[in-house]
Structure 1
């Protein structure tokens, strides 16, 4: 009779996979507690021993930097925009894209705001950060995803899909940065973007 085989262990994570898993668990804690979050809290959220964190991160500062870098990544918004059905009317597609961008900006704002409010300096470590380059890369990735949404209407656009997407993305970021007396909804923004600021009854000069 053959010897019973032992249970086969699941393949272990690579260091990069473990880093990603830890950062994913840490992000909501950092957004809530800022730099006051402890590695013990992160370990509990990730379901690992605290020592595991220090096998892939030099310390808490490096983990916080990784969380900030993850919050700045456009991947989440790009995936959401890429999943929008092209079978919908253009206005509906652009409204969904606006909400995806808003969610990403809120996520970034929560993490950055919590870290700053908790007194963490903007720059740590020996290597300088390049937030401008990261922002430009994020804008380019999101802009490309929005341009894909515009493809079915390419022949009807005044400008190219890429130029139109760039204009729309600029409006989305302006909507977030400028606080007026009343909130500008995604529907408001799309209506003005596609139809102009004037109503049809008023006409144009």
Structure 2
């Protein structure tokens, strides 16, 4: 007979608190909302999260509240801001802005994809929960304010050589990135191309601007 007296008892994983469970459900729902929009069922989300469907309704009042939490997560700029602040300031401005353009493209794409999926399936019109500014859901401007401040910090080391303040340049650069994301071109400008256009304009250095 095997002696099990020295074998420690197995411990159950600690139970999630409501915030952790909420975050887990939202993470599972995000790709499903991209695929199905507002038509996604709570049953699908529950299967993806590995929980019973009833567990969702112990955390969220209804499906619209869950979809609102998914949109809030898409609008949340925290991860983008962390990456923007991590960009090394001792490299040339063009390199700083190229890294920033890649970060912002990812954030804006995620935000646009979720909003587009919900709008395409009627969720934005059907539910007041999904309207920015309702029930604590941030609007787009709120989501872009923190990244804009982080972008301004990237211009700051070159302040004395800039035509405009870092704050105004950050606003203009952010607007350019947002516009580029909406062009729908088959070959959208690369981050390097966008930065070159922003810093040096459309003409090459050999041509005089009239």
Task: Identify the TM-score tier after normalising by the shorter chain.
Answer: 0.7 to 0.9
Structure 1 length-normalised TM: 0.85
Residue in 1 aligned with 2:26?
23
Mapped contact 1:21–1:46 kept (Cα < 8 A): yes
Structure 1 residue corresponding to 2:164, chosen from 159, 162, 174: 159
The Cα shift of 1:121 comes to 4.1
1:62-77 to structure 2, matched below 5 A, reads 62-77=65-80
How large is the RMSD of aligned CA atoms in angstroms?
A: 2.8
**Structure 2: runs of 5+ lacking an equivalent:** 1-5
**Offset from partner CA, 1:60-101 (integer Å, 9 cap, x none):** 121112111211222232222223232432212211211221
Structure 1 stretch 34-43 or stretch 165-174: which is displaced more? 34-43
1:169-188 to structure 2, matched below 5 A, reads 169-179=174-184, 183-188=188-193
SS state at 1:122 partner: helix
Equivalent residue pairs, number: 204
Mapped contact 2:100–2:151 kept (Cα < 8 A): yes
Structure 2 length-normalised TM: 0.83
Residue in 1 aligned with 2:58?
55
1:27-42 to structure 2, matched below 5 A, reads 27-42=30-45
The Cα shift of 1:56 comes to 0.4
Distance change (3 Å), C-alpha of 1:181 and 1:34: closer
Whole-angstrom distance in 1 between the partners of 2:130 and 2:29:
22
1:1-150 to structure 2, matched below 5 A, reads 7-125=10-128, 129-130=132-133, 134-150=139-155
**Structure 1: runs of 5+ lacking an equivalent:** none
The Cα shift of 1:44 comes to 2.2
